[in-house]
């Protein structure tokens, strides 16, 4: 995921050391959030407040949470996160990347925020089966659930 530098408050950038994630895209600075970062972080809107939280549990920091950064929409709909304290969140993004292919995101991505056993907030990107176009573009069988947008 990527978000324009101007979209994040300076204090949030400094507090989470996001300066090292800045890249230049055609003269416009942006902050990139990669799941495979040494410390994977991602911004989320929760209750009208922008936060930067841990993205998933890929490094096994939690024994209670799944070791991934994504969850299927169908898992949520079937009650897979029931009684976990999970709440829906919006993940602001202007670009996203899958398998090396960047694509524009208009309003952001849906996410799920869940506390780990120590109470730390952990975000998962909600995904659904890829559309034919998305699958051809990225060669992925899953795609993020975008806010009011279909690819």
> Per residue of the chain (151 residues), what is the pLDDT tens digit?
999 999 999 999 999 989 889 999 888 899 999 999 998 999 999 999 999 999 999 999 999 999 999 999 999 999 999 999 999 999 999 999 999 999 999 999 999 999 999 999 999 999 999 999 999 999 999 999 999 998 8
- Distance, in Å, from the CA atom of 48 to the CA atom of 58, rounded to the nearest integer, reads 27
What string of H, E and C letters represents the secondary structure of 23-73? Answer: EEECCEEEEECCCCCCCCEEEEEECCEEEEEEECCCCCCCCCCCCCCEEEH
- Distance, in Å, from the CA atom of 97 to the CA atom of 12, rounded to the nearest integer, reads 23
pTM of the model as a whole: 0.93
Tell me if residue 99 falls in helix, strand or coil: coil
pLDDT value of residue 41: 95
Angle among Cα 46, 34, 25 to the nearest 5 degrees reads: 100
pLDDT value of residue 25: 87
CB of 113 closer than 8 Å to CB of 89: yes
Token pair of 38, please?
């040494």
pLDDT value of residue 151: 86
pLDDT value of residue 26: 86
């Amino acid at each position: 995921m990527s978000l324009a530098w101007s979209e994040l408050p300076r204090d949030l950038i400094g507090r989470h050391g996001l300066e090292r994630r800045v890249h230049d895209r055609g003269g416009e600075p942006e902050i990139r959030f990669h799941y495979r970062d040494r410390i994977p972080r991602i911004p989320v809107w929760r209750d009208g407040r922008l936060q930067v939280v841990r993205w998933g549990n890929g490094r096994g920091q939690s024994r209670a949470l799944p070791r991934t950064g994504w969850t299927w929409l169908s898992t949520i709909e079937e009650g897979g996160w029931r009684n976990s304290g999970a709440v829906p969140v919006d993940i602001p993004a202007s670009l996203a990347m899958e398998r090396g292919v960047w694509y524009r995101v208009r309003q952001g991505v849906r996410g799920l925020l869940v506390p780990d056993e120590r109470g730390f907030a952990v975000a998962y990107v909600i995904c659904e089966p890829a559309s034919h176009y998305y699958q051809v573009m990225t060669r992925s069988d899953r795609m993020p659930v975008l806010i009011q947008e279909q690819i």
